[in-house]
Structure 1
Amino acid sequence: MSNRTIARKYTLTRQIGHGGMGVIWEAFDEVLRRAVALKVMTPEHVTSDTARRRFQREATAIARLRNEHIVQIHDYGIDEDCPYIVMELLEGEDLENRLNRERQLSPSATLSLLRQIAIGLQAANSAGIVHRDLKPANVFMARKEPGECVKLLDFGVVWTFFEGADESQQRSSGRAIGTPAYMSPEQVRAVEPDHRSDLWSLGVIAYRALTGRLPFAARGIGELLISICTDPFPPPSSLAPGLQPGFDGFFQRALAKDPAQRFQSARELVAAFAAVIEASSGPTKILVADDEPDVTLMMKLQFRQKIRDGIYEFIFAGNGEAALHELRRHPDVDVILTDIKMPVMDGLTFLGRVPEVNPFAKTVMVSAYGDMVNIRSAMNQGAFDFLLKPIHCTDLEATIDKTARHVAELRRNARSDEENKVLRQFTSAAVVERIREMGPAIALASEAVMATVAFIDIFQFTQVTKERPPGEAMRLLRANFEVIVPELMAKGGVVDKYLGDAVMAVFQGPDHLPRALSACAIVRAQMAAVARRAGESSPYTQGICIGLSTGQVLSGSVGSQAYGRLDYTVLGEAVNTAAHLARAARPGEILVDAPVREAARALFDFEEVGGRCLVPGGSPVNVFNVVRRSAAALLSDGEPTVAIATTTTMR
């Protein structure tokens, strides 16, 4: 194809790479007389309408992003029925090549890399764009003056929140979009993505850059998918001698299986990474924002002994804008002393920006007595304290120490919250919420409520426990639950308990029946899709059997209060019926009884499967399998509301 001319103006000179759906050439723009990069769709993709739509979506999505850390689009068109994209020509190398050559990067070099990637991701996210294939090969280190500039490439599998994309087709076919080693658990399950999926991929990139290894590595795609959804990763400090132990905690959050437990923005991820680098048991860090040079001199003179002894460390800025810059460079700042009246950015504006950069640092306002109106305004906006000029040194030192102690307590509480998150993994969510809202004593109360109960059983998993070592069998069981549980919770279900190889979920509140049916249908589809991707030898091919029933249940705590062992659960006919239906179901079936079908027939299509024995030795009972959402329900704007009986509480 060399020397071929595209669209009568772009002459191809040499092939320089390839992307997800196209070959990338260096070309010469004959009209504007400049070198460009030109991506031409490969012949095997040209005949696919889906691929062509994705190719065009890549061009239109990136074209509206004007950011120095995202490759720029110059043109898009179709030449002889072959789509092409014209981009800026970059000189340098991608991160994949650099990591292959250097294997590991220093924390400071990794931080510089993450900061630039984060700016690009933040711009994409602000435009409603998810990359979905973020990996070292799509991170380009472009040579620029005075140094390198990181550019994000290949948005060929981009998702936009403003277009339907082709996700329904992807889910139904069981295909995963992305590069397996960098895919998030939700990408593995082929659920609708959001920006936190890109943040997971960024976490994997950071892990590899620091350690030279991927956090999840397995032979075969099936094992890799299980590992991503189920397994812990080696603490990075165990792989890279000398790496700060604080990175272990950073990656526990960056690579959390639950998106809600991850960093929620690229900015937050980078700030946390920087904090690990700079965090130590060292001095109290104090940022002083004041445009008067005498203030800097006074602080250095007054606290020269504490500075020399390593008790205090001061950072100075002449205005609010410069102070924000320093706060980003030093994310472990404890105390901020800021004047109110400053050029460029005043103290009140700066105060409002502090929490987005450092949620722990506390601000002390410093101003003259005659400026009490602004001081009151600052206190109302969240300032921790204030000092009046001229500053009394004894008062200043006491205020700094008091503020630093408060910040230290906030950090300790944050660590306690992280520990509590671990404990909550082993405690029923229903118990946690009940005690949080109503106090420990009320947890012993019981109530009769209308609810829908679903039992989801892994088909014949007992045989797996006989054939596999104990640790491996439990890992494979968790792999199934990692796919099942998120969809139940997404529809407002509460996992009541795990009963061996089955999970029991309870749905209460408005529309509990349609929500439960939707959740079970989604779980069934997701499990089938993951099974197709992971292969016949994966644990997902066991299949799931689901039973669902609705009605009044009794919820409350059972067990021995005297011996301090209580469990919160629900009891009643609906619970028993759901369990029996799950046992009678065959793989891929969602069995319900006649009352459920009657209550939800306007929302879902059911098929009669005939008589099934729900209990050993019992008479066959006519049951129904949930097929799909009904056409009428899909056309409606929302899920119709079903009547819910009132709740009564018993002591």
Structure 2
Amino acid sequence: MTATILFVDDEPDLEALVLQKFRRQIRDGLVSFTFARDGIEALQSIEQHPQVDLVVSDINMPRMDGLSLLAKLQEAEDKKSTIIVSAYGDMSNIRTAMNRGAFDFLTKPIDFADLETTIQKTIRHIEVLREARRRQAEAERAHASLSRYFSPELAKRLIANSDDESMAVQWRDVAAIFTDITGFTTMVETTAPEALGQMLNEYVGGMTEVVFAHEGTVAKVIGDAIEVLFNAPSYQPDYATRAVACAHALDAWAEAFRLRWREKGVNFGVTRIGVHTGTALVGNFGGSRFFDYTAYGDTINTAARLEAANKFLGTRICVSATVANLSENFEGRPVGDLMLRGRSEPLRAYEPLSTARSKAPAVAQYAAAFAKLEAGDVAAMPAFAALVGMHSEDPLAGFHLRRLLNGGKGVRMELG
């Protein structure tokens, strides 16, 4: 690095003397000098050559003295490290200079060996400051990048522990959430771009805030679809419980959002949510140039297929039995044993319910009808018919009744 030094002094012979004394350092590319005869000229020089690293300034000069120049330099956004030169014994001015932010001082007549040592010390200080600023800028960029995926607190922890292996690609147990919006393609084709942009930005922003409130990780946002992870990258022993709570909160936020836009005359679709737990390959798959923290594997695919199952079931949230079993105090009702695409074995699925809804009489009535269905009891059809008659707004009960009317049996089922 070549340090650029601005010498500010009105002595006519100083420029030639400095260039002579530092000729070897100039030849070796260690330093370069520019010169000004007072504070005003120095400020003009810095404006034309902002790469100046260090200012060495006399105090007594015409038009603008060194102390006034120092004050101006300290007001600037890019503060320049400054060495003040003063007459020997002028402690009052030296004290004022140090109070105004001077890095060091020299006395006249200048001892050039002392000047060289002081310049070297100041340049080392400048390099330390530059490295600190570089690290801060990197940290800010990293925080901005990580904040797209992780809650603010988690992003801070990851930056603080940047040498750990939490970002490395690895197999680990996770809970995965997939969300999607019904009829999104049609909405894209029929909605003005500015309105669609406003809606989607508000929607994704709101859903992301919900995820972050539960300390989840936003692994992907593809159009209207959002993929969320728990227990990655930081360990969360209660990851299944968090995932279920997050799914409920996402559903509540999305429904409020949909109804708000419906009042404006926009038919924003229902958000469907699927949740599954299991092992997945997680980590930063972006290589050295990009950051792409995401997950791959059957667990992720299953969560996506459970999300899609809602379309047929009429539900908004569908979770696997592994989620229900791992989640503390899970409340919900069984959907059935789903044969999902890509899986050879059926997967028991549940519709999670809020505490208030789980205590409703209709839920107990559904449980009794489902038990008959699971047992192969012919009384399952009238039980579901009675339930639908009393609660026509229950889409899951209606799904089972239609299936029975079409000849379906038991709780094992293929969806579309």
Q: Normalising by the residue count of structure 1, what TM-score does the alignment of the two structures yield?
A: 0.34
Larger Rg: 2
Structure number with the bigger relative contact order (C-alpha 8 A, sep ≥ 6) is 2
